[in-house]
Amino acid sequence: MDDFITVVAPGASITTGAASARVALPVCQSQEVPRYIRVSAINACYVRMGTSTVVATSTDTLVQPADAVVMQVPQGTTHMAAIQDSAAGKVNIVPLENM
């Protein structure tokens, strides 16, 4: 069974709107920034990883409703930003422990 994930630490959420919003990436159970995260959204949105000044735009990674994207976290990345596509919603980010 290689197609499973392990999530044991709390995640983070972003409420999307017409302006970009950001949140610190959640940490793993070890209190370290994860190597991979799972990003899902209620409504279509665009996301971008970066530092505490990161801003998402409509040309960033599109996350579709009821879809999930597993993303590798580059070294030095601390935050994720998100912006709505056509309607406000929520983005959920969880740290993956087994990757």
CA-to-CA separations, 29 to 9, 49, 96, in angstroms, rounded:
5, 21, 10
| Contact indicator for 83, 15 with CB cutoff of 8 Å | no
For residue 1, being part of any structural domain is answered with no
For residue 3, being part of any structural domain is answered with no
For residue 36, being part of any structural domain is answered with yes
Q: List the pLDDT tens digit at each of the 99 positions of the chain.
A: 467 778 888 999 999 999 999 999 999 888 888 999 999 999 999 999 999 999 999 999 999 998 899 999 999 999 999 999 999 999 999 999 876
For residue 22, being part of any structural domain is answered with yes
pLDDT for 26 equals 95
pLDDT in tens, 78-89: 999 999 999 999
For residue 6, being part of any structural domain is answered with no
| Contact indicator for 91, 14 with CB cutoff of 8 Å | yes
For residue 4, being part of any structural domain is answered with no
For residue 5, being part of any structural domain is answered with no
CA separation for the pair 98, 18 (Å, rounded): 34
CATH number of the CATH domain containing 51: 2.60.120
pLDDT for 14 equals 97
Whole-model pTM: value is 0.90
Which domain range does residue 37 map to? 12-95
For residue 74, being part of any structural domain is answered with yes
The total number of structural domains in the chain stands at 1
Burial 6-31 (b: 16+ CB within 10 A, else e): ebebebbebebeeebbbbebbebeee
